[in-house]
Amino acid sequence: MAMKRKAKPASAAEHYTYRLAWSVKDEDFIATVVEFPSLSWIADTREAALAGLTSVVEEVLQDMLAEGEEIPAPWDERTFSGKFNLRLGADLHKRVALEAAERHESMNTYVIKQLATIDA
């Protein structure tokens, strides 16, 4: 049985949701963080992009704490009710209602099925 080895404690910045992407335009990797949409870091390797942005997030968190600002909760620590209100224009509402009716489904079921096809 494999045992988990104890790692060093993670910093608060490591709890956030990071994304890495290659930029053809910049010919570098770009790191972004969902909870801080205005922050990014560009570097020549994935590792450097992630390390650079994580360092910036650590600094931002320290500044926010020092200023008494509210710290955003990491994405994975947030709770969701499973409900949200959606406003559609009248024409789109009519089209969605028709599509659902033709499938003998409620609009809610139809929209959930459509949203479930989106790759996360």
Within the chain, which residue ranges are assigned CATH 3.30.160.250? 12-75
Q: Residue 4: what pLDDT?
A: 55
Is residue 43 a contact partner of residue 32, using CB atoms and an 8 Å limit?
no
Per DSSP, which regions of the chain are E strands? Answer: 18-23, 28-33, 40-43
Q: For residue 33, is pLDDT > 60? A: yes
Mean pLDDT throughout 34-46? 97
Q: Residue 41: what pLDDT?
A: 98
Q: For residue 110, is pLDDT > 60? A: yes
Q: What percent of the chain has pLDDT over 70?
A: 91
Q: Residue 96: what pLDDT?
A: 94
What DSSP string describes 51-80? HHHHHHHHHHHHHHHHHTPPPPPPGGG---
**At which residue do the structure tokens 């790759």 appear?**
119
Per residue in 71-82, pLDDT (tens digit) is 999 999 999 999
Mean pLDDT throughout 94-111? 94
As given in the structure block, the two tokens for residue 18 are 């990071």
pTM for the structure as a whole: 0.69
Instruction: Write the CATH number of the domain with boundaries 12-75.
Output: 3.30.160.250
> For 100, phi and psi rounded to 5 degrees?
-65, -45
**How many other β-carbons are positioned within 10 Å of the β-carbon of residue 72?**
15
